[in-house]
Protein backbone atom coordinates (compact mmCIF):
# COMPACT_ATOMS: atom_id res chain seq x y z
CA UNK A 1 0.00 0.00 0.00
CA UNK A 2 1.44 3.37 -0.99
CA UNK A 3 0.65 7.06 -0.53
CA UNK A 4 -2.40 8.31 -2.36
CA UNK A 5 -2.08 9.88 -5.81
CA UNK A 6 1.34 8.33 -6.45
CA UNK A 7 2.44 5.49 -8.67
CA UNK A 8 3.47 2.59 -6.45
CA UNK A 9 5.94 -0.05 -7.56
CA UNK A 10 5.66 -3.66 -6.48
CA UNK A 11 6.93 -4.12 -2.93
CA UNK A 12 10.33 -5.75 -2.47
CA UNK A 13 12.22 -7.05 0.54
CA UNK A 14 15.37 -5.05 -0.19
CA UNK A 15 15.47 -1.83 -2.20
CA UNK A 16 18.95 -0.90 -3.42
CA UNK A 17 19.36 2.72 -4.54
CA UNK A 18 22.30 3.01 -6.93
CA UNK A 19 23.66 0.77 -9.66
CA UNK A 20 27.44 1.01 -9.46
CA UNK A 21 29.87 -1.51 -7.98
CA UNK A 22 28.51 -1.20 -4.44
CA UNK A 23 24.85 -1.25 -5.44
CA UNK A 24 25.08 -4.23 -7.78
CA UNK A 25 27.09 -6.25 -5.25
CA UNK A 26 24.59 -5.38 -2.52
CA UNK A 27 21.68 -6.44 -4.72
CA UNK A 28 23.34 -9.73 -5.63
CA UNK A 29 24.20 -10.49 -1.99
CA UNK A 30 20.64 -9.78 -0.85
CA UNK A 31 19.12 -11.88 -3.63
CA UNK A 32 21.36 -14.81 -2.72
CA UNK A 33 19.91 -14.62 0.79
CA UNK A 34 16.50 -15.29 -0.75
CA UNK A 35 15.27 -11.68 -0.68
CA UNK A 36 13.15 -10.09 -3.37
CA UNK A 37 15.35 -7.25 -4.59
CA UNK A 38 14.85 -4.15 -6.69
CA UNK A 39 17.57 -1.77 -7.85
CA UNK A 40 16.41 1.81 -8.41
CA UNK A 41 18.85 4.16 -10.09
CA UNK A 42 18.92 7.56 -11.73
CA UNK A 43 21.11 6.18 -14.51
CA UNK A 44 21.19 2.82 -16.25
CA UNK A 45 22.27 -0.43 -14.66
CA UNK A 46 26.05 -0.27 -14.12
CA UNK A 47 26.32 3.50 -13.78
CA UNK A 48 27.63 5.97 -11.23
CA UNK A 49 31.27 6.88 -10.68
CA UNK A 50 32.29 3.19 -10.89
CA UNK A 51 31.47 3.27 -14.59
CA UNK A 52 32.31 6.91 -15.33
CA UNK A 53 34.17 6.94 -18.68
CA UNK A 54 36.50 9.77 -17.65
CA UNK A 55 38.56 7.45 -15.47
CA UNK A 56 40.74 4.85 -17.11
CA UNK A 57 40.19 1.82 -14.90
CA UNK A 58 39.04 0.29 -11.64
CA UNK A 59 42.05 -0.68 -9.58
CA UNK A 60 41.56 -2.95 -6.59
CA UNK A 61 44.18 -3.65 -3.94
CA UNK A 62 44.25 -5.97 -0.97
CA UNK A 63 46.67 -7.78 1.32
CA UNK A 64 48.96 -10.56 0.10
CA UNK A 65 48.54 -12.53 3.34
CA UNK A 66 47.70 -12.13 7.04
CA UNK A 67 50.93 -10.32 7.87
CA UNK A 68 50.34 -7.96 4.98
CA UNK A 69 46.76 -7.44 6.18
CA UNK A 70 48.01 -6.10 9.50
CA UNK A 71 50.49 -3.85 7.71
CA UNK A 72 47.72 -2.56 5.44
CA UNK A 73 45.50 -1.79 8.45
CA UNK A 74 48.32 0.17 10.07
CA UNK A 75 49.10 1.99 6.83
CA UNK A 76 45.47 2.99 6.22
CA UNK A 77 45.30 4.42 9.73
CA UNK A 78 48.63 6.23 9.27
CA UNK A 79 47.68 7.67 5.88
CA UNK A 80 44.28 8.56 7.31
CA UNK A 81 46.06 10.77 9.86
CA UNK A 82 43.87 9.70 12.77
CA UNK A 83 40.57 10.10 10.93
CA UNK A 84 39.82 6.44 10.11
CA UNK A 85 37.79 4.12 12.34
CA UNK A 86 40.05 1.13 12.98
CA UNK A 87 37.12 -1.27 13.38
CA UNK A 88 35.83 -0.33 9.93
CA UNK A 89 39.37 -0.47 8.52
CA UNK A 90 39.76 -4.03 9.78
CA UNK A 91 36.38 -5.02 8.38
CA UNK A 92 37.44 -3.60 5.02
CA UNK A 93 40.92 -5.13 4.87
CA UNK A 94 39.93 -8.60 6.04
CA UNK A 95 36.98 -8.61 3.66
CA UNK A 96 39.00 -7.89 0.52
CA UNK A 97 40.39 -11.40 -0.17
CA UNK A 98 36.89 -12.88 0.01
CA UNK A 99 35.54 -10.12 -2.23
CA UNK A 100 38.22 -10.86 -4.84
CA UNK A 101 37.43 -14.57 -4.73
CA UNK A 102 33.73 -13.76 -5.06
CA UNK A 103 34.39 -11.58 -8.12
CA UNK A 104 36.27 -14.44 -9.75
CA UNK A 105 33.46 -16.86 -8.87
CA UNK A 106 30.97 -14.46 -10.44
CA UNK A 107 32.90 -14.78 -13.69
CA UNK A 108 34.39 -11.28 -13.66
CA UNK A 109 37.62 -10.79 -15.58
CA UNK A 110 40.37 -9.44 -13.34
CA UNK A 111 43.56 -7.99 -14.78
CA UNK A 112 46.91 -8.71 -13.15
CA UNK A 113 50.30 -7.04 -13.55
CA UNK A 114 52.35 -8.31 -16.47
CA UNK A 115 54.64 -11.11 -15.34
CA UNK A 116 57.82 -9.65 -13.89
CA UNK A 117 56.37 -6.17 -13.34
CA UNK A 118 54.57 -6.86 -10.05
CA UNK A 119 57.19 -5.05 -7.98
CA UNK A 120 57.44 -1.96 -10.18
CA UNK A 121 57.05 1.22 -8.15
CA UNK A 122 54.00 2.18 -10.20
CA UNK A 123 52.14 -0.74 -8.62
CA UNK A 124 52.63 0.74 -5.16
CA UNK A 125 49.16 2.20 -4.50
CA UNK A 126 48.71 5.93 -3.98
CA UNK A 127 50.01 6.95 -0.53
CA UNK A 128 51.17 3.39 0.24
CA UNK A 129 54.73 2.24 0.94
CA UNK A 130 54.66 -1.26 -0.59
CA UNK A 131 53.07 -3.21 -3.41
CA UNK A 132 49.86 -5.08 -2.56
CA UNK A 133 47.77 -7.77 -4.18
CA UNK A 134 46.67 -5.72 -7.21
CA UNK A 135 43.78 -6.51 -9.54
CA UNK A 136 42.14 -4.47 -12.27
CA UNK A 137 38.38 -4.85 -12.67
CA UNK A 138 37.52 -4.88 -16.36
CA UNK A 139 34.28 -2.96 -16.66
CA UNK A 140 32.93 -4.78 -19.72
CA UNK A 141 33.56 -8.15 -18.14
CA UNK A 142 31.93 -7.05 -14.89
CA UNK A 143 28.82 -5.81 -16.71
CA UNK A 144 28.47 -9.08 -18.61
CA UNK A 145 29.06 -11.41 -15.65
CA UNK A 146 27.17 -9.56 -12.92
CA UNK A 147 24.36 -8.57 -15.27
CA UNK A 148 23.77 -12.23 -16.04
CA UNK A 149 23.75 -13.15 -12.35
CA UNK A 150 21.32 -10.37 -11.45
CA UNK A 151 18.93 -11.62 -14.12
CA UNK A 152 19.28 -15.21 -12.91
CA UNK A 153 18.53 -14.15 -9.33
CA UNK A 154 15.42 -12.26 -10.45
CA UNK A 155 16.66 -8.83 -9.35
CA UNK A 156 14.37 -6.14 -10.74
CA UNK A 157 15.81 -2.86 -11.99
CA UNK A 158 14.04 0.43 -12.57
CA UNK A 159 16.12 3.17 -14.20
CA UNK A 160 15.40 6.88 -14.30
CA UNK A 161 14.42 7.10 -10.63
CA UNK A 162 16.05 9.76 -8.45
CA UNK A 163 15.66 9.29 -4.70
CA UNK A 164 14.00 12.29 -3.05
CA UNK A 165 13.09 10.87 0.35
CA UNK A 166 12.86 7.86 2.62
CA UNK A 167 9.53 7.06 4.25
CA UNK A 168 9.29 5.51 7.70
CA UNK A 169 6.71 3.71 9.78
CA UNK A 170 7.24 2.79 13.45
CA UNK A 171 10.87 3.95 13.32
CA UNK A 172 11.64 1.69 10.37
CA UNK A 173 12.27 2.37 6.74
CA UNK A 174 9.26 1.32 4.68
CA UNK A 175 10.06 2.74 1.24
CA UNK A 176 11.51 5.45 -0.93
CA UNK A 177 9.95 8.35 -2.82
CA UNK A 178 11.51 8.93 -6.23
CA UNK A 179 11.27 11.38 -9.06
CA UNK A 180 10.51 9.52 -12.27
CA UNK A 181 12.63 11.44 -14.76
CA UNK A 182 10.67 10.08 -17.71
CA UNK A 183 7.30 11.43 -16.55
CA UNK A 184 8.22 14.13 -14.05
CA UNK A 185 5.93 12.45 -11.51
CA UNK A 186 6.63 10.89 -8.15
CA UNK A 187 6.89 7.14 -7.62
CA UNK A 188 6.85 5.17 -4.39
CA UNK A 189 8.89 2.00 -3.94
CA UNK A 190 7.84 0.12 -0.78
CA UNK A 191 10.40 -2.17 0.83
CA UNK A 192 11.33 -4.07 3.95
CA UNK A 193 14.82 -2.55 4.13
CA UNK A 194 16.90 -0.19 2.00
CA UNK A 195 20.52 0.01 0.88
CA UNK A 196 21.84 3.39 -0.26
CA UNK A 197 24.72 3.19 -2.74
CA UNK A 198 24.47 6.52 -4.53
CA UNK A 199 28.09 7.66 -4.58
CA UNK A 200 29.97 10.61 -3.13
CA UNK A 201 29.86 14.39 -3.15
CA UNK A 202 31.84 15.05 -6.34
CA UNK A 203 28.72 16.18 -8.20
CA UNK A 204 28.47 19.25 -5.96
CA UNK A 205 31.42 20.86 -7.78
CA UNK A 206 31.46 22.50 -11.19
CA UNK A 207 34.60 20.57 -12.15
CA UNK A 208 34.10 16.92 -11.32
CA UNK A 209 35.35 13.48 -12.29
CA UNK A 210 32.32 11.84 -10.68
CA UNK A 211 29.50 10.18 -12.56
CA UNK A 212 26.60 12.41 -13.65
CA UNK A 213 24.26 10.67 -11.20
CA UNK A 214 26.54 11.15 -8.16
CA UNK A 215 24.83 14.32 -7.02
CA UNK A 216 25.06 14.01 -3.25
CA UNK A 217 21.33 14.18 -2.46
CA UNK A 218 21.35 10.98 -0.39
CA UNK A 219 23.69 12.53 2.19
CA UNK A 220 21.04 15.17 2.92
CA UNK A 221 18.27 12.58 3.10
CA UNK A 222 20.23 10.55 5.65
CA UNK A 223 20.84 13.70 7.71
CA UNK A 224 17.13 14.54 7.68
CA UNK A 225 16.34 11.10 9.05
CA UNK A 226 18.68 11.34 12.02
CA UNK A 227 21.83 9.94 10.42
CA UNK A 228 25.28 11.51 10.50
CA UNK A 229 28.16 12.22 8.16
CA UNK A 230 31.85 11.86 8.94
CA UNK A 231 35.04 13.14 7.26
CA UNK A 232 33.19 14.95 4.46
CA UNK A 233 35.82 17.71 4.40
CA UNK A 234 38.24 15.18 2.91
CA UNK A 235 37.23 15.39 -0.74
CA UNK A 236 39.78 13.91 -3.13
CA UNK A 237 41.00 16.48 -5.64
CA UNK A 238 42.64 15.15 -8.80
CA UNK A 239 44.20 16.68 -11.88
CA UNK A 240 42.09 16.18 -14.97
CA UNK A 241 42.27 17.25 -18.58
CA UNK A 242 40.87 20.50 -19.95
CA UNK A 243 42.20 19.76 -23.44
CA UNK A 244 42.18 17.90 -25.78
CA UNK A 245 39.02 16.70 -24.02
CA UNK A 246 37.53 17.89 -20.76
CA UNK A 247 36.82 15.82 -17.69
CA UNK A 248 39.23 12.91 -18.18
CA UNK A 249 41.59 12.01 -15.36
CA UNK A 250 45.28 12.84 -15.81
CA UNK A 251 47.47 9.90 -14.88
CA UNK A 252 49.62 11.06 -12.01
CA UNK A 253 52.35 8.52 -12.81
CA UNK A 254 53.30 10.68 -15.79
CA UNK A 255 54.15 13.73 -13.66
CA UNK A 256 57.76 12.54 -13.54
CA UNK A 257 57.94 12.84 -17.34
CA UNK A 258 56.21 16.24 -17.44
CA UNK A 259 57.11 19.88 -17.89
CA UNK A 260 54.38 22.25 -16.71
CA UNK A 261 53.75 25.74 -18.05
CA UNK A 262 51.30 28.51 -17.22
CA UNK A 263 48.85 29.86 -19.80
CA UNK A 264 51.39 32.49 -20.93
CA UNK A 265 53.99 29.79 -21.61
CA UNK A 266 56.06 30.47 -18.50
CA UNK A 267 57.50 27.26 -17.13
CA UNK A 268 56.28 26.52 -13.60
CA UNK A 269 59.22 26.57 -11.21
CA UNK A 270 58.95 23.05 -9.85
CA UNK A 271 61.81 20.89 -8.68
CA UNK A 272 62.07 17.57 -10.54
CA UNK A 273 62.20 15.82 -7.20
CA UNK A 274 58.79 17.22 -6.33
CA UNK A 275 57.38 16.04 -9.67
CA UNK A 276 58.76 12.55 -9.03
CA UNK A 277 57.20 12.58 -5.58
CA UNK A 278 53.89 13.82 -7.02
CA UNK A 279 53.94 10.88 -9.46
CA UNK A 280 53.32 8.50 -6.56
CA UNK A 281 49.74 9.58 -5.85
CA UNK A 282 46.72 10.86 -7.77
CA UNK A 283 44.90 13.06 -5.25
CA UNK A 284 46.54 16.18 -3.84
CA UNK A 285 47.49 16.09 -0.18
CA UNK A 286 48.58 18.62 2.41
CA UNK A 287 50.61 15.87 4.13
CA UNK A 288 53.53 15.87 1.70
CA UNK A 289 55.92 18.49 0.27
CA UNK A 290 54.61 17.89 -3.27
CA UNK A 291 51.56 19.97 -2.34
CA UNK A 292 53.66 22.67 -4.02
CA UNK A 293 52.93 21.05 -7.40
CA UNK A 294 49.18 21.30 -6.88
CA UNK A 295 49.36 24.87 -5.61
CA UNK A 296 51.37 25.85 -8.71
CA UNK A 297 48.80 24.23 -11.00
CA UNK A 298 45.96 25.92 -9.12
CA UNK A 299 47.75 29.27 -9.39
CA UNK A 300 47.70 28.91 -13.18
CA UNK A 301 44.01 29.75 -12.98
CA UNK A 302 40.95 28.57 -14.84
CA UNK A 303 42.93 28.08 -18.06
CA UNK A 304 44.94 25.40 -16.31
CA UNK A 305 48.56 24.41 -16.80
CA UNK A 306 49.92 23.04 -20.06
CA UNK A 307 51.74 19.71 -19.89
CA UNK A 308 54.58 18.57 -22.12
CA UNK A 309 55.26 14.85 -21.75
CA UNK A 310 58.55 13.18 -22.61
CA UNK A 311 57.61 9.52 -22.24
CA UNK A 312 60.34 6.87 -22.19
CA UNK A 313 60.42 3.80 -24.38
CA UNK A 314 59.59 1.20 -23.35
CA UNK A 315 57.05 2.46 -20.85
CA UNK A 316 56.70 0.91 -17.41
CA UNK A 317 53.85 -1.62 -17.36
CA UNK A 318 51.38 0.48 -15.36
CA UNK A 319 51.97 3.67 -17.37
CA UNK A 320 51.80 1.65 -20.58
CA UNK A 321 48.30 0.47 -19.69
CA UNK A 322 47.22 4.10 -19.29
CA UNK A 323 48.97 5.16 -22.50
CA UNK A 324 47.16 2.47 -24.52
CA UNK A 325 43.84 3.53 -23.03
CA UNK A 326 44.55 7.22 -23.70
CA UNK A 327 45.52 6.55 -27.32
CA UNK A 328 42.29 4.66 -27.88
CA UNK A 329 40.12 7.20 -26.04
CA UNK A 330 41.84 10.44 -27.11
CA UNK A 331 43.61 9.57 -30.34
CA UNK A 332 47.22 8.87 -31.35
CA UNK A 333 48.36 12.43 -30.63
CA UNK A 334 47.02 12.42 -27.08
CA UNK A 335 50.28 13.68 -25.55
CA UNK A 336 50.10 16.97 -27.49
CA UNK A 337 48.14 20.02 -26.34
CA UNK A 338 47.45 18.72 -22.85
CA UNK A 339 46.09 21.21 -20.33
CA UNK A 340 45.19 20.19 -16.80
CA UNK A 341 43.47 21.67 -13.77
CA UNK A 342 41.91 20.33 -10.59
CA UNK A 343 38.64 18.41 -10.42
CA UNK A 344 36.65 16.97 -7.53
CA UNK A 345 36.97 13.20 -7.56
CA UNK A 346 36.03 10.61 -4.93
CA UNK A 347 34.93 11.38 -1.38
CA UNK A 348 36.99 10.01 1.51
CA UNK A 349 34.08 10.58 3.91
CA UNK A 350 30.32 10.29 3.86
CA UNK A 351 27.49 8.66 5.76
CA UNK A 352 28.64 7.23 9.09
CA UNK A 353 28.03 3.48 9.26
CA UNK A 354 28.98 0.60 11.53
CA UNK A 355 30.67 -2.66 10.57
CA UNK A 356 27.27 -4.05 9.54
CA UNK A 357 26.74 -1.13 7.10
CA UNK A 358 23.91 0.28 9.23
CA UNK A 359 23.52 4.07 9.04
CA UNK A 360 24.34 5.41 12.50
CA UNK A 361 21.44 7.29 14.08
CA UNK A 362 19.08 6.57 11.20
CA UNK A 363 15.90 4.46 11.36
CA UNK A 364 16.10 0.68 11.41
CA UNK A 365 16.45 -1.01 8.07
CA UNK A 366 18.55 1.74 6.46
CA UNK A 367 21.99 0.63 5.23
CA UNK A 368 24.66 2.33 3.12
CA UNK A 369 27.78 1.28 1.25
CA UNK A 370 30.37 2.41 -1.27
CA UNK A 371 31.60 5.95 -1.77
CA UNK A 372 28.48 7.29 -0.05
CA UNK A 373 29.95 6.15 3.27
CA UNK A 374 32.81 7.24 5.51
CA UNK A 375 34.92 6.00 8.38
CA UNK A 376 36.90 3.23 6.67
CA UNK A 377 39.15 5.87 5.09
CA UNK A 378 40.70 8.96 6.63
CA UNK A 379 42.29 12.22 5.56
CA UNK A 380 43.97 10.45 2.63
CA UNK A 381 42.90 7.16 1.08
CA UNK A 382 45.18 4.49 -0.33
CA UNK A 383 44.66 3.93 -4.05
CA UNK A 384 42.50 0.95 -4.99
CA UNK A 385 40.55 0.95 -1.73
CA UNK A 386 37.50 2.78 -3.08
CA UNK A 387 36.71 -0.22 -5.28
CA UNK A 388 37.51 -2.51 -2.36
CA UNK A 389 35.16 -0.55 -0.12
CA UNK A 390 32.35 -0.83 -2.68
CA UNK A 391 32.79 -4.59 -2.95
CA UNK A 392 33.27 -5.42 0.73
CA UNK A 393 30.62 -3.18 2.24
CA UNK A 394 28.30 -3.72 -0.72
CA UNK A 395 28.21 -7.42 0.11
CA UNK A 396 27.81 -6.68 3.83
CA UNK A 397 25.00 -4.18 3.27
CA UNK A 398 23.07 -6.50 0.97
CA UNK A 399 23.36 -9.48 3.29
CA UNK A 400 22.46 -7.48 6.39
CA UNK A 401 19.52 -5.79 4.66
CA UNK A 402 18.18 -9.17 3.56
CA UNK A 403 18.23 -10.29 7.18
CA UNK A 404 16.58 -7.11 8.42
CA UNK A 405 13.43 -6.86 6.32
CA UNK A 406 10.10 -6.05 7.93
CA UNK A 407 6.47 -6.61 7.05
CA UNK A 408 4.61 -3.87 5.24
CA UNK A 409 2.98 -1.29 7.56
CA UNK A 410 -0.76 -1.64 8.00
CA UNK A 411 -1.42 1.94 6.94
CA UNK A 412 0.02 3.72 3.94
CA UNK A 413 2.70 6.24 4.97
CA UNK A 414 1.73 9.86 4.51
CA UNK A 415 3.61 12.11 2.12
CA UNK A 416 6.13 14.61 3.50
CA UNK A 417 5.17 18.25 3.07
CA UNK A 418 7.45 18.91 0.13
CA UNK A 419 5.59 16.24 -1.85
CA UNK A 420 2.18 17.51 -0.80
CA UNK A 421 3.25 20.99 -1.90
CA UNK A 422 4.27 19.61 -5.32
CA UNK A 423 7.81 20.86 -4.79
CA UNK A 424 9.31 18.95 -7.67
CA UNK A 425 9.34 19.51 -11.39
CA UNK A 426 11.57 17.75 -13.89
CA UNK A 427 12.50 19.36 -17.16
CA UNK A 428 15.88 17.92 -18.04
CA UNK A 429 17.84 14.68 -17.92
CA UNK A 430 19.28 15.56 -14.51
CA UNK A 431 15.84 15.77 -12.94
CA UNK A 432 16.06 19.53 -12.34
CA UNK A 433 13.71 22.12 -13.77
CA UNK A 434 14.90 25.07 -15.80
CA UNK A 435 13.88 27.31 -12.88
CA UNK A 436 16.39 25.58 -10.60
CA UNK A 437 19.26 25.47 -13.10
CA UNK A 438 20.76 28.91 -12.25
CA UNK A 439 20.82 28.08 -8.54
CA UNK A 440 22.39 24.67 -9.18
CA UNK A 441 25.06 26.33 -11.33
CA UNK A 442 25.69 28.90 -8.58
CA UNK A 443 25.96 26.13 -5.97
CA UNK A 444 28.49 24.16 -7.99
CA UNK A 445 30.47 27.26 -8.92
CA UNK A 446 30.56 28.32 -5.27
CA UNK A 447 31.83 24.91 -4.20
CA UNK A 448 34.45 24.99 -6.95
CA UNK A 449 35.69 28.47 -6.04
CA UNK A 450 35.81 28.15 -2.26
CA UNK A 451 35.75 24.44 -1.34
CA UNK A 452 38.18 22.81 -3.76
CA UNK A 453 41.96 23.40 -3.67
CA UNK A 454 42.48 26.56 -1.59
CA UNK A 455 40.13 26.92 1.35
CA UNK A 456 40.17 29.73 3.88
CA UNK A 457 37.88 31.31 6.47
CA UNK A 458 36.51 34.17 4.33
CA UNK A 459 35.92 31.96 1.31
CA UNK A 460 34.22 29.19 3.27
CA UNK A 461 32.08 31.71 5.16
CA UNK A 462 31.03 33.23 1.84
CA UNK A 463 30.23 29.78 0.48
CA UNK A 464 28.10 28.96 3.52
CA UNK A 465 26.18 32.23 3.21
CA UNK A 466 25.53 31.54 -0.47
CA UNK A 467 24.40 27.98 0.22
CA UNK A 468 22.13 29.12 3.05
CA UNK A 469 20.53 31.59 0.67
CA UNK A 470 19.98 28.93 -1.98
CA UNK A 471 18.52 26.55 0.58
CA UNK A 472 16.22 29.19 2.10
CA UNK A 473 14.67 30.09 -1.24
CA UNK A 474 14.65 26.64 -2.82
CA UNK A 475 11.24 25.75 -4.19
CA UNK A 476 12.26 22.33 -5.44
CA UNK A 477 13.20 19.28 -3.45
CA UNK A 478 16.30 18.35 -5.45
CA UNK A 479 17.81 21.81 -5.05
CA UNK A 480 17.12 21.82 -1.30
CA UNK A 481 18.85 18.45 -0.94
CA UNK A 482 21.90 19.56 -2.93
CA UNK A 483 22.18 22.71 -0.82
CA UNK A 484 21.93 20.70 2.41
CA UNK A 485 24.67 18.29 1.34
CA UNK A 486 26.89 21.15 0.18
CA UNK A 487 26.34 22.96 3.47
CA UNK A 488 27.33 19.85 5.39
CA UNK A 489 30.63 19.65 3.51
CA UNK A 490 31.36 23.38 3.72
CA UNK A 491 30.68 23.52 7.45
CA UNK A 492 33.01 20.58 8.06
CA UNK A 493 35.68 22.35 5.99
CA UNK A 494 35.20 25.53 8.01
CA UNK A 495 35.28 23.67 11.33
CA UNK A 496 38.62 22.00 10.52
CA UNK A 497 40.96 24.95 10.97
CA UNK A 498 44.09 23.10 9.92
CA UNK A 499 45.47 21.29 6.88
CA UNK A 500 45.37 17.50 6.95
CA UNK A 501 45.47 15.10 4.01
CA UNK A 502 42.96 16.01 1.31
CA UNK A 503 41.86 19.10 3.27
CA UNK A 504 44.09 22.14 2.65
CA UNK A 505 43.46 25.44 4.42
CA UNK A 506 45.55 28.29 3.01
CA UNK A 507 45.06 30.19 6.29
CA UNK A 508 46.00 27.15 8.42
CA UNK A 509 48.63 25.29 6.35
CA UNK A 510 49.78 22.89 9.10
CA UNK A 511 48.24 20.07 11.10
CA UNK A 512 47.09 21.07 14.58
CA UNK A 513 46.89 18.63 17.46
CA UNK A 514 43.52 19.88 18.66
CA UNK A 515 42.01 18.65 15.38
CA UNK A 516 43.33 15.09 15.60
CA UNK A 517 39.83 13.60 15.57
CA UNK A 518 37.08 13.18 12.97
CA UNK A 519 34.41 15.80 12.37
CA UNK A 520 30.83 14.58 12.42
CA UNK A 521 27.92 16.41 10.86
CA UNK A 522 24.36 16.08 12.13
CA UNK A 523 21.23 18.16 11.84
CA UNK A 524 20.65 20.80 14.49
CA UNK A 525 17.68 23.15 14.34
CA UNK A 526 16.99 22.00 10.81
CA UNK A 527 20.46 22.73 9.40
CA UNK A 528 23.73 20.76 9.13
CA UNK A 529 26.01 21.29 12.12
CA UNK A 530 29.66 20.17 12.26
CA UNK A 531 31.59 19.35 15.42
CA UNK A 532 34.86 17.63 16.18
CA UNK A 533 35.82 14.73 18.47
CA UNK A 534 32.35 13.45 19.24
CA UNK A 535 29.16 12.60 17.43
CA UNK A 536 27.00 15.76 17.56
CA UNK A 537 23.64 15.73 19.21
CA UNK A 538 20.95 15.70 16.57
CA UNK A 539 17.73 17.59 17.13
CA UNK A 540 15.28 15.12 18.69
CA UNK A 541 13.18 13.73 15.90
CA UNK A 542 9.49 14.61 16.06
CA UNK A 543 6.90 11.90 15.52
CA UNK A 544 8.17 10.43 12.29
CA UNK A 545 7.81 12.90 9.49
CA UNK A 546 6.36 10.20 7.29
CA UNK A 547 3.20 10.99 9.19
CA UNK A 548 3.80 14.68 9.77
CA UNK A 549 4.87 17.77 7.90
CA UNK A 550 8.29 19.07 7.00
CA UNK A 551 9.97 21.69 4.86
CA UNK A 552 11.47 21.25 1.41
CA UNK A 553 14.71 20.31 3.04
CA UNK A 554 13.14 18.15 5.71
Separation CA 404–CA 400 (nearest Å): 6
Residues 338 and 245 placed together within one structural domain of the fold: yes
Is 505 a member of any domain? yes
Q: What secondary structure letter does DSSP report for 138? A: -
Confidence at residue 260, expressed as pLDDT on a 0 to 100 scale: 95
End residue of a domain, out of 344, 376, 411: 344
Q: Is the peptide bond before 244 cis (omega within 30 degrees of 0)?
A: yes
Separation CA 209–CA 329 (nearest Å): 16
Confidence at residue 66, expressed as pLDDT on a 0 to 100 scale: 96
Is 7 a member of any domain? no
End residue of a domain, out of 344, 370, 393: 344
Separation CA 324–CA 330 (nearest Å): 10
Confidence at residue 554, expressed as pLDDT on a 0 to 100 scale: 38
Is 195 a member of any domain? no
Is 258 a member of any domain? yes
Residues 338 and 430 placed together within one structural domain of the fold: no
Confidence at residue 52, expressed as pLDDT on a 0 to 100 scale: 80
Is 314 a member of any domain? yes
Alpha carbon 231 to its chain's center: 12
pLDDT digits (tens, 9 = 90+) for 252-295: 999 999 999 998 889 998 999 999 999 999 999 999 999 999 99
Residues 425 and 338 placed together within one structural domain of the fold: no
- 49 near 389, Cβ under 8 Å? no
- Tell me the Ramachandran region of residue 247: left when phi exceeds 0, alpha when psi lies from -120 to 50, beta otherwise: left
Separation CA 465–CA 457 (nearest Å): 12
Separation CA 464–CA 488 (nearest Å): 9
* Exposed / middle / buried, residue 99 (Cβ in 10 Å: 0-12, 13-18, 19+): buried
Is 326 a member of any domain? yes
Separation CA 549–CA 540 (nearest Å): 15
* Exposed / middle / buried, residue 238 (Cβ in 10 Å: 0-12, 13-18, 19+): buried
- 210 near 199, Cβ under 8 Å? yes
Per-residue pLDDT of the chain (554 residues; tens, 9 = 90+): 566 668 999 999 999 999 999 999 999 999 999 999 999 999 999 998 888 876 666 889 999 999 999 999 999 999 999 999 999 999 999 999 999 999 999 999 999 987 777 677 778 999 999 999 999 999 999 999 999 999 999 999 999 999 999 999 989 999 999 999 998 899 999 999 999 999 999 999 999 998 767 779 999 999 999 999 999 999 999 999 999 889 888 989 999 999 999 988 899 989 999 999 999 999 999 999 999 999 999 999 989 999 999 888 888 887 888 888 888 877 888 888 899 999 999 999 999 999 999 999 999 999 999 999 999 999 999 999 999 999 999 999 999 999 999 888 767 777 888 888 777 654 454 556 667 899 999 999 999 999 999 999 999 999 999 999 999 999 999 999 999 999 999 999 999 999 999 999 999 999 999 999 999 999 999 999 999 965 545 544 444 433 333 334 43
End residue of a domain, out of 281, 312, 344: 344
Confidence at residue 549, expressed as pLDDT on a 0 to 100 scale: 31
Confidence at residue 432, expressed as pLDDT on a 0 to 100 scale: 63
Residues 6+ apart with CB under 8 A from 514: none
Is 176 a member of any domain? no
Separation CA 464–CA 456 (nearest Å): 12
- Residue 241 domain boundaries: 237-344
Is 79 a member of any domain? no
Confidence at residue 114, expressed as pLDDT on a 0 to 100 scale: 79
Give the pairing type, strands 350-352 and 305-309: unpaired
Quote the number of domains for the chain: 2
Separation CA 146–CA 143 (nearest Å): 6
Give the pairing type, strands 58-62 and 37-41: unpaired
CATH number at residue 426: 1.20.58.100
Amino acid sequence: MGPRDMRTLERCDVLVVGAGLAGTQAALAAARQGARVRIASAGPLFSGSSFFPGTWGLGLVGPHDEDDAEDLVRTICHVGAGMADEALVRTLVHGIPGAVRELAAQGCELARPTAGSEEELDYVPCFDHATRDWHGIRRDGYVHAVGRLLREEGVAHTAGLELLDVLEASDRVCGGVFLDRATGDLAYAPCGSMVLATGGLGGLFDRTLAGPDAGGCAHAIVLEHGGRLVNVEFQQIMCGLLTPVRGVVFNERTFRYARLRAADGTRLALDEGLLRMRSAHGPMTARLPDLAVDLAIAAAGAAGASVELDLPSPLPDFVGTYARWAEQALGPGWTRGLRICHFAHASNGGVAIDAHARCLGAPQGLFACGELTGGMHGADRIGGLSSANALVFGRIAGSEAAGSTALAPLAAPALPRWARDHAWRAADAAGLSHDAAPDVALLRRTMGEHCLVRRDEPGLAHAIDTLLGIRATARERQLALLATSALAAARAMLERRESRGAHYRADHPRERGEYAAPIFVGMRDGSPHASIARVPEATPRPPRRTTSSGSLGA
